[in-house]
Structure formats: structure tokens, C-alpha cells
Chains A and B, each alone.
Chain A
Amino acid sequence: MIYKLIHKTKYAYSTRVNKYNGLACLQPLNNHWQKCYAFDITIQPDPLEIKSRVDFFGNTLHYFNIDTPHKQLIVEAKSKVESSLRDISVLNLNITCAEAKSHIKKNLLLKNELGLYFMKSHFIDWDAEIIDFAQPSFVPDLPLYQCVQNLCYRIFTEFEFNSKYTEVNTPLKVVLRDKKGVCQDFSHLAITCIRSMGFAARYVSGYLETRPAAGKKKLQGSDASHAWISVYIPEAGWCEFDPTNNIIPQERHIVTAYGRDYGDVVPLKGIIFSAGHHKLKVEVDVIPVLEGL
């Protein structure tokens, strides 16, 4: 499937902003099931410069610098992405948790290579409470893949999706206690559980194409950026899971970036030079492009 993606972020400031340094992580990446054909970022007011680079994790970032005084900032990223089905049937997904552990332990090179994704990071930290929550899903004799699916199922069924309840810095403890949150919280929770069990997991930032209810026309800006997880299954490689929707990501999941956690892949961040408050509005469209039209 080919998609046209529009990710528009609008900041409105109560007082004039004199200067803005920004960093955008909005360009979909290329891998064996996804090709980004075209990408364009437009920023208003005109930045002095835009520079792109590939970061430590292999994601493409755009740095920009505005020094025109402004009260409104618009960053619009447009891209065209071809996303194909991921055939997981060819993979060996039968390795059990116990086997996976000893595989990693024996394979020092692998462990070192994945080192970053086994460890605590800014948003990922665990204690006994997290381990207690994770433990029931990870049965040593069951396939690791199945155990992660079970974890995602539990998060999907036991937790309520509530976009009003949490914000970027809500601690996982609160999410776990109140069983409410959004995709970012659920992904962090799942990653924390998986790492606490001794496996490698990373955070995926991207988009999910939503389908309008039958007979309804899709509303503009109704899509959203999305987050899910990627887990290293020995002998199969990195496999993705979507704990928010309890599905295995397929062509409707479009990947922008991978990182240890949200902190590594923030879609847009910036340092403003102003005293006022701001309002933020984000619109995302994931529009399927019908071939031949």
C-alpha cells in the first residue's frame, strides 16, 4: 500500500517568540518492508537553515533555526511511503523464553550489539512492582514471541485508553496503578516489562492508518502519530507488537524512527526564546493512495 502522510504541527504563542531552535524526527525510514519515496518539510516562518542528518539510531533528523520574531510556528512534514505486508510466517518464532535467555547469554557479541536495548533508559526503569506485573506473561517454557503477545493482550484488556489522563512525563508507576494511558505509556510499559525480564526491546514511533466507520467519510486530520514496540526474538530478529491495539503491526503501521524510548524519537522539539505560554495543535493524515489513480 502507498500512503501519503501529512504531519502538521502548529504552535500558537501568547507572546512573540524571537528565536526558535528545533529538531524534527518526522521522516519515515527505509527498511525491507517500507520505502519512503518522497519527504518534504516546510516550516513557517522561514528558518535561517534546515539541516538533516542521520542520528545514532539510524533515524533521519532535521535541525532548523528560526530567528524571525513570530507568534505562530507551523512545521509540516509531507511524505510518500510504500508499506508492504510483513511475512512473519517464514520466521522461527518458537524459541522459548528460557532458550532465548541462554542464547543471549552465550552469544556475547549479540548481547553487546543489542546492549542499548536491554538497559534502563530515561523513560524505562523498573522495580519489583513492574517485575511482578511482567512475570506472569513470561513463562520459561513458552515461546518468547507468544509471551510478548500475552503481555500486549493483558495491557490491551486491563488498561483503558485515555488521552486526557497522562502526559509525556507521567511516571510508569502511575500508569500501572491507574491502568490508564495512551500508546506512548503502553509502549513504555511493555518495553519496561520486557527489559526487566532480560530481553531487548525498543520503542517505535510512527503512524497508524485509521479506517472510518462503515459508510462514513474519513475526516481530515483524524489520524494520529502512534507508538508501538519492537522486541528482539533470537533467531527471528526484531519483531513488532502494538500493545495499544493488541495487533501485530502490518502495512498500516508506518515506521518513522526507532529508539530506546520516546526521548530518543520525539517528533518535534525545540527551545523557544520567549516568556509566554503556547498552545499546540497537531494534525496527522495518513491517506492511502490508490494506485493507478
Chain B
Amino acid sequence: MHTQISSNLIQNYCAQINGLDEILEKDGRIKPYWQQLFNNIEVMGLTELGNRGTDILAKLKENGVTYNVYDSSEGNNRPWKLDPIPFLIEQKEWDEISKGLIQRAQLIDAIYKDIYGPRHLIKEGILPSQVIFGNEGFLPACFDVKIPSDNQLIICAIDFARGPDNRMWVMDRRTQSPSGMGYVIENRSVISKYVPELTRGLALRRLAPFLNKFQGAISGLSPDKNGHPNIVYLTPGPQTETFYEHAFIASNFGYPLVMGDDLMVRNGMVWLKSISGLEKVDVIIRRVDDEYCDPLELREDSHLGVSGLLQAMRLGNVVVLNPPGSNVLENHALLPFMKGACQFFFKQDLLLPNIATWWCGQEKELKYVLANLDKLIVKKASGKEHHRSIFTRILSEKQLGELRLKILANPEQYVAQEESSLRTAPSLVNGRIEPRLAVSRAFLVSDGRDYHVMNGGLTRSSADSNLFVISNQLGGMSKDTWIVSDKAFESNERVVINNNKIDFKQAALPSKSAENLFWAGRYCERILVTTKAINLIINTLQDNITLGGTPKSQHLEILLKALSHVTLFYPGFLTEKMRTQPYKGILNIIRDPKMMSSVTTTLKSFLRCVTAVNDKWNHDTRTYINAIESNFSQFDDLDEFDPNRIHKMMTKLQSRLFSFYGIFAESFPRDEGYYLFESGKLVERILAQISLIRAVFNTKYTAHVEKELIEAILINHNLLVYYRQLYKSFVNLETTLDVVLIDEKLPYSLGYMLGKLAEYLSHLPNNTYPERISLVGKAILEAQTKIRLADIDSLTNYDEDDHRLFNLDALLASIYTLVSGVTDLLSNQYFSHAVLQHSLKRYSDENELDADDI
């Protein structure tokens, strides 16, 4: 299987091992498949591996793979880290481990059914009632909430690590909404792209069969056996730590990504509020924690769930995975009782041992823990809160004393675990291969009766070589788990999406996604409009400002005022003072965090909207979005004495936004989401153009000023070249208004934009009166007609006294009103049911978001 190369790398590594390590057999020999991996690294070269590692991190960052951290002061997202060195498990051993994992999953499932059913374990004294009833995860409301299959816990994750006896030990399990599967898929795809050489001589099991199993299992649970099961993926929202993963899985499997208020219960059934009306939901894969699932019967302050959900489940009209109430199984205090439960249910011994755990709610155990307090890991028993583990050997005498008192005050709330000498595995740390403690997570899915294990998984290694702290929040790293053997196992099965949907049916567009797409279009365009106007001003300023630094000409004053109107920067350039220091004002418009329409604020709003519909973006589009996001940090360096840099920066941002428009236009499916995004974009563009024209041409100026203004407007409308081809150097207001307002060939003319807007809006469903034109359609038709009927000559009429261009202004004002009404009309027709629950209370409160620590 491998060729022996005299290997410095592996010898160097072996020299660093302190204790037990994955690569070594019991007798100290190096396991052949690890030897093979080291050989592969040797061939590649350690430096090259380091480079690839850096590339991988860059790629993950570019893909936007993140992990939100609540208490981080530096923004919310922390990039996901991946070690290019995988974690290897040999196939034969994996077969044994899999049996143990399946047994464990069946056991946890049996305990779940017993706790919310006959409670034999408690009645027979196998499980102290306090472990269940004293745990906040036990929810009496869920006792009669069942899903229609033998197994209730359809998705299950089990953490394991190799103990000192060379066997794999179960460390922990995740039952209510196991996280990590999306990261596994992402890890595997990046690893196979960036370090394919590492698989040489190692036949590697694929993930696809499991992913197909997963989809099949979930579709199979649908109460609606005839039609197309409507499966949605319920997320707490973009604030949650693993939101990236939620969007990733949803888009990978084609499940609409929804939040609680996208759903409602009516007539005992769950409905998705979509822009084409209500759609019945059959299966909900939830990432919302148990007690937040249903404000009616569980936490009443939850805005993440669906009121009446439990009742709909009881009626058998919807299947929720995993059923609420399963958090009680994440309680660490259950671990010591697994053995007895396994005997009770299956008359079997545990195939995989537990990490030694003592629950302090028992007298003998409490005594043991207190007597050995300086060499244990102490945790809160509750699986609900993700408390940090306390490593007692590093505590001072004083800290130990405090911990002792805490335990004595509420012994039933604590468990202690042995800090056993778990194994290290090779990890790439700062360009060197070093031993780090590692723990692996396995994923299982039930087809209703039997569990299937993913041939792979998520391994995480500790940041510290000594302490067994494995948490992404604390800076650990992830590793891809490889199940390897020396011969290939299966054909190249690929992931098949929607394999049981024979007739393809368009997934409904949830109302909130619709709203977010519309606003994404508006915000994106607003940034473009603003940056473009800023650059126009910078160009004009640089042409005009004398060395003294004040604007000398009237047209500059008009344009500065117009910039204030377009960007809602008030009083801003309407004051004389601000006009004397224009770059200061411009920087305000760019980065004032308190200003609603500043570039920074708008950019944030834009990113919030696109993130909330993350499941809609393909991989490439996401790359462009991430590039836009990276612009933020660069605003800080701008200063008012370097207008060229400001100009350059604005151009850069514009080109990134245009790239996003480009990839969107090239790749986004022409569905309702597309038309809403494009409508939002046009609404914003039209409103900004009107504001600009009204601000610039409200008065008849002298020919010289008018010429300067016309040129500026033509540049802003990308029309100068065209205009010159048509009219050469002849400049007057009539011809300008013709190209800016009327000429429907020109993409930046009002006539063209209104026509497009009318077209896009006509693609949206008209639910109430399909045969009639919608209210919003009427508004745009009216605006379009006004422009078409406008008489250019009369538009340039002006008042003899105050020189106001009253006809032009009246026309533009009426169109402005019609177009600005579009948002409300769309909102009433398509988005409004999305905000019902919102209006009670905004869920900005972080405490309300559930923890979803991996």
C-alpha cells in the first residue's frame, strides 16, 4: 500500500508526541495509512502543504464560510478554519465504530421515546428522575408530540475520541438540531480541490451516499405521500452562529430557507407565506432550539418559532425534525446511565464506552468528585447552555474552593468527567506538523427504522496542545474525517437533488425572502447612485476649485446641493459652511454610521438583506458578495485631503457592485425573486434620477451654468458619448431632457426604466384579480404614460419672475410620488404578512437567539 521513503517528516512528528497519538498502534508502530499520508505530504513538501493550507483558508473566506461569534467585538463573523491534514480512520475499524454509533443512536432514540412516553427508566429506577425532570430540556408540552416513524430522532450527531485503551469513546451527542453537516460538505469539497495529492494510495469513502440517504429519509417522512413533499429548513436567522451552514444546506438540498414568521398555523396545518399565497408545509427541518419552536406552548417570548406548531404536529399534519423536547438528551448527566439503559432496552453492552462521567446529584458520585476535584473536567449538566468546561488542574486553591461551594449549592446541576489522556493527531500549525488533541463528530440519519452513518465527519482539534478545549469559539480548527482503505469501495455515486420528485415543482418564494430581495436591489442601487454622484462631484471639484480651496462657480454650488438631496444629507451642502469643505461632507456621506443613507449604513443594510437570503446565491455570486463586504474596512483609511483616493475607492466599490449585478443577471433564475430584485433596483434608480434632475434643473440658469450642469448630468447618466454622437457640440436643455427622460432606447432614461419596471412587475403573481392589472401595475402605467405624453417644449417653460421650470418640476414630482408608492403597494400585496409578528417586538435582543455552538 505504501512505499517507504526515509521519512524525516514522520520522525520529526513522532519526536513531538507526548503521550498517545492517533498515528501509533498500541505497540508503537506507525499505522500504515498514516504512514501513507505522511509520504504523500513528503512528496508534496511541507512548505507546499503550508501554502495550500493558506489557500484553503483564503478559499473558505472567499466562499463566505463563517461561524458567528456572539461576544466578538470585531464584527460577527469568524472565518471557518480547516486543517489541510485530514483525520484518518481505517475502514475496518470504522465498521466497528459505526456499529457502536448506530447502537448509540438507537439507544438515545429509545431513551427519548421512554422519557416522553411510559418512563420505564424512571419507574424501574434505572435513571434518577432528577436527571430528566430537573433538566430544563424536559418539556412536558412535548410528551404527545410524535412523528410518524419508529425512530423519533431522525438526525443525530455523536462526538467521539480515542481513549487511552485504544477504543473510541463517546464524548457527547447532539439531538435537537445537530450542526456541522454543512461544514463537512464544504470541508470535503475544498480539501479535494486543494490537496488532492493527499489521497494517493488511500481509497477514500464518499459523502454522497449518505447525503442521498439523508434526502430520501426526509422526503419519506412527509405526511403527504402522494404529492411533492414541501420541505423547509427553519433557521433562527442570520444572527445565529451557524447561519452559514443553514443557508448552505438549504440551498444544497433545495429546501426553502425560512424563519419562524415565514410560517403560520391555520386549520391545524403549517403554511408557508409565499408571494403566491399560502403553501402547505409537510416537513420542517429545524435549527431553532426546542423551547423557541412554539411561543404558544413553549417560551412565549420566542419570535423564532411558529405559534401552534406543536398542535399541528399532534394532528399529524406536519413533521418537525427532530421533534421538540429532544434537548433533554443533550444533558451530560445522562452519560453515566447509558450503560444501564442499554441493558434495559436491548440487553446489550455499550459497543462504544463513554468518557467516565460522574453526576453530582448522587451522593457517592458527589463525594468522589469533591475528593478528586483537582484533576477533573467539571461542566454544568444541562445541555441547554453551552457552558465552558472547567479544567480543574489549572485552578488555584481559591478557585477550587469556589467551585466546590458552587457544586455543593446545586450538586444536581454539575457533572464531572475524567480528563483522560485522549489522543493527539497530526495538525498543521504555523507551517509545522504538530500533535493536537482531536475529537470527531459523526452524523447519522434514520430512514424511520434504521440509522445510517455518514462515512466521514467533522473532526476538530484543540488550539492548545495541552488542554482539551475543542471549540470553534475558542479558536480551534476543523479537519476533514477520512474513512480510508486500500481498495476502492463504491462507485462514484453523486449527490442527487430532489431524487424523489418526479415532477419538478418550483419551490415557493417565502414572503420575507421576497422582501429581502427587493430591498437588496434597492440598497445596492442606492450605493451605486451615491458613489456615482460623489465621483461626479469630485471630478467637478477638481476641475473648478482654485488653489484657495473654495468652489468658485455657481454650477458647483448647485451640484453640491443636488448631492445633498440625492443622498438625503441634510442640512449638509445646503449650508454655506459645508460647501467650503466639500470633502468633509463627502466623507460624511461615505462613512457616517449614524446617517441612514450613508454608504456604510446602506452597505450594511444591503449585506443584511443578501445574507438573509443566502440560500439563493450560487457559489460564484457569494464570492462577489464577500468581495463587496471586504470594502468596509477600507473606508477608515480615507481622508479629506486625498480626493483621488476617495474617487478610486468609490470606483472600486462600484465595479464590485457591477460585478455582482453581472453575475446576478447572468445566473439568477428568472423567477419572482429575480423580478423583485430588479424592480427594487429600478425603483431606487428612478427615484435617485428624479431627485438629481429636480435639484439641478429646477431653475433656468444662464447658458454657461446650464451647459456645465447638462454635461454633469449627461456624464452621470452615462450619456455624454451618445449625446455627442447625436448632437455634436450642440448643448441645450430640450435635447438633454429628451435623452434623459423620453428616449426609450437609453437604459438610463426615465422612459426606458419605467417600461422595464412595468415589465418586471407584470411577472409577479396577481393573486386577487388575475385578470386585472394590479395596483402597482397601474401606478407605473400612469407614470410611463405621463412621460410618453410629455411635451419637451413646454417642459422647458419657466416662470418669468423666479425662473422656475414649473412644468418640468410638476411632472417629475408626480412621477416621484407614483414610483415611491411602489414599495408600499408591493409590501401590502406580497410582504405584509411577513411582518405581523415582527411588529410586536423586534428580535434584536441577542438573548433571544438560541445558542448553536458546534
Asked whether A and B interact, the reply is yes
Given contacts A112-B125, A116-B133, contact A57 B268 (CB under 8 A): no
Q: Would B267 and A49 count as touching, CB distance under 8 A?
A: yes
Q: State in angstroms the CA–CA spacing of A152 and B126 once bound together.
A: 37
Q: Would B300 and A275 count as touching, CB distance under 8 A?
A: no
Q: State in angstroms the CA–CA spacing of A118 and B308 once bound together.
A: 30
Neighbouring B residues of A273 by C-beta, 8 Å = 836-837
Q: Would B144 and A115 count as touching, CB distance under 8 A?
A: no
Given contacts A21-B296, A108-B125, contact A65 B267 (CB under 8 A): yes
Asked if B228 CB lies within 8 Å of chain A CBs, one says no
Q: Would A112 and B140 count as touching, CB distance under 8 A?
A: no
| Chain B residue with the shortest CB-CB distance to A264 | B140
Question: How many residues on the A side are at the interface (Cβ–Cβ under 8 A)?
Answer: 33
Q: State in angstroms the CA–CA spacing of A274 and B841 once bound together.
A: 10
Question: Smallest distance from the beta carbon of B118 to chain A beta carbons, Å?
Answer: 13
Q: Would A109 and B125 count as touching, CB distance under 8 A?
A: yes
Q: Would A119 and B133 count as touching, CB distance under 8 A?
A: yes
Neighbouring B residues of A119 by C-beta, 8 Å = 130, 133-134
| Chain A residue with the shortest CB-CB distance to B131 | A115
Given contacts A48-B266, A57-B140, contact A274 B125 (CB under 8 A): no
Question: Smallest distance from the beta carbon of A65 to chain B beta carbons, Å?
Answer: 6
Question: Smallest distance from the beta carbon of A132 to chain B beta carbons, Å?
Answer: 15
Q: Would B836 and A19 count as touching, CB distance under 8 A?
A: yes
Q: Would B128 and A21 count as touching, CB distance under 8 A?
A: no
Question: Smallest distance from the beta carbon of B134 to chain A beta carbons, Å?
Answer: 5
Q: State in angstroms the CA–CA spacing of A273 and B296 once bound together.
A: 12
Q: State in angstroms the CA–CA spacing of A112 and B837 once bound together.
A: 40
Contact with A along B686-697 (1 / 0, CB 8 A): 000000000000
Asked if B265 CB lies within 8 Å of chain A CBs, one says yes
| Chain B residue with the shortest CB-CB distance to A122 | B136
Q: Would A63 and B308 count as touching, CB distance under 8 A?
A: yes
User: Of A57, A115, A264, which is within 8 A of B132 by CB?
Assistant: A115
Neighbouring A residues of B267 by C-beta, 8 Å = 48-49, 65
Interface of A is mostly: mixed
Asked if A120 CB lies within 8 Å of chain B CBs, one says yes
Question: How many residues on the B side are at the interface (Cβ–Cβ under 8 A)?
Answer: 31
Q: Would B266 and A65 count as touching, CB distance under 8 A?
A: yes
User: Of A21, A51, A56, A115, which is within 8 A of B307 by CB?
Assistant: A21
Asked if A87 CB lies within 8 Å of chain B CBs, one says no
Given contacts A51-B311, A63-B308, contact A56 B133 (CB under 8 A): no
Neighbouring A residues of B266 by C-beta, 8 Å = 48, 65, 67
Q: Would A112 and B128 count as touching, CB distance under 8 A?
A: yes
Q: Would A112 and B129 count as touching, CB distance under 8 A?
A: yes
Neighbouring B residues of A109 by C-beta, 8 Å = 123, 125
Asked if B371 CB lies within 8 Å of chain A CBs, one says no
Q: State in angstroms the CA–CA spacing of A238 and B132 once bound together.
A: 22
Given contacts A56-B140, A116-B129, A119-B133, contact A270 B264 (CB under 8 A): no
Asked if B143 CB lies within 8 Å of chain A CBs, one says yes
Neighbouring B residues of A120 by C-beta, 8 Å = 134
Asked if A217 CB lies within 8 Å of chain B CBs, one says no
Q: State in angstroms the CA–CA spacing of A275 and B838 once bound together.
A: 9
Question: Smallest distance from the beta carbon of A26 to chain B beta carbons, Å?
Answer: 16
Neighbouring A residues of B837 by C-beta, 8 Å = 271, 273
Q: Would B296 and A269 count as touching, CB distance under 8 A?
A: yes
**Which A102-158 residues have a C-beta within 8 angstroms of B?**
108-109, 111-113, 115-116, 118-120
Q: State in angstroms the CA–CA spacing of A155 and B144 once bound together.
A: 38
Asked if A18 CB lies within 8 Å of chain B CBs, one says yes
Neighbouring B residues of A271 by C-beta, 8 Å = 295-296, 300, 307-308, 837
Given contacts A116-B133, A119-B134, contact A56 B141 (CB under 8 A): yes
Neighbouring A residues of B308 by C-beta, 8 Å = 21, 63, 65, 271
Residues of B within 8 A of A (CB): 122-123, 125, 128-130, 132-134, 140-141, 143-144, 264-268, 295-297, 300, 307-308, 311, 314-315, 836-837, 839-840
Q: A112-B128, A115-B133 are in contact. List 7 more A-B contacts (CB 8 A).
A: A21-B265, A22-B296, A55-B141, A65-B266, A112-B129, A115-B129, A119-B134
Contacts A/B (CB < 8 Å), 7 sampled? A21-B296, A21-B308, A51-B311, A63-B308, A109-B123, A115-B132, A274-B840
By Cβ-Cβ distance, the 4 closest A-B pairs, closest first, are A115-B129, A56-B140, A271-B307, A275-B839
